[in-house]
Amino acid sequence: MRSRNFKTARDGKPRRGFTLIELLVVVAVISVLLALLMPALRKVQTLAKRTTCQSRLRQVALAWHLYLDDNNQRFYQGVNVNHDFGGWQGKGGFALSRTLNPYLKLPLEIESENGADIYRCPADDGGISYRPRQQMAYHYFGNSYQTNYLLIGPPQALIPRGERKEFYREINKRLRNLTRDSVSDPCRLLLVGDNNWVAQWDLSQPPGKDWHGRGDHYNLGFLDGHVEFITIYKDIYVLPKYRVLPFAELDKFVPGSAN
């Protein structure tokens, strides 16, 4: 009589299944392979998000060129426009109307976060200054990106206390009538980038979280339209790699800067 503990193959011979030990060995091998592969997979995922972010940021930077062409080369100024220049309304009480949207073939006003993906960095996972760490810039501002506020933003930069007071007063004199033709070195001048980059160089703000897996590194669009993934240094406005300050004649007054 054939044993009920075995299945029978077509040739009539009994066929034995996997033992518990064999199954455990297979599971252990798969676990080891996954442990070896996961860092590489995470690296690929991080790189993919960074690349998508760069592509979107490049389109935003180029849209600014179209805006400048339509506005006599004058930079856009107003309260909070360094945040709400484009995107959707956001949850932070910022403007509904977003000036740059039409230059990216989007409605001027977008109430839903689903309508403005071009302004969403896929690596945006929060860490913005003065907000809960998990709150995304895209959700709060309606935009993952922030401009260089010495170009596009409030018509006057906040004047800090101490030795830089006169320096910032000189900056503000130039901001009142700022045009593309009046700024220095467009290929090095930072225009717009990952929201937290401003907190990284601005001494008055605590550093924000970097989104792309390398400390103090951010995607930045330059005034000439190109985009790079670069290190931003705290409290340094001018370096061979980039410049935040638009006016070369003031470089010598900037503490910590190096041409």
Q: What is the pLDDT of residue 14?
A: 58
Minimum mean pLDDT range among 1-15, 143-157, 207-221: 1-15
Minimum mean pLDDT range among 104-108, 118-122, 165-169, 177-181: 165-169
Residues 176-198: what's their mean pLDDT? 93
Query: Pick from 191, 239, 187: which is nearest to 219 by CA?
Result: 191
Residues 119-123: what's their mean pLDDT? 97
Return d(Cα 217, Cα 213) in angstroms, integer. 8
State the average pLDDT for the chain: 86
Given CA atoms 42, 44, 50, 56 in this order, what sign does their dihedral have? negative
AA letter at 226 = H
How sure is the predictor about 198, in pLDDT bands with cuts at 50, 70 and 90?
A: very high
Return d(Cα 39, Cα 216) in angstroms, integer. 21
Return d(Cα 79, Cα 2) in angstroms, integer. 87
Return d(Cα 173, Cα 229) in angstroms, integer. 31
Q: What is the pLDDT of residue 61?
A: 96
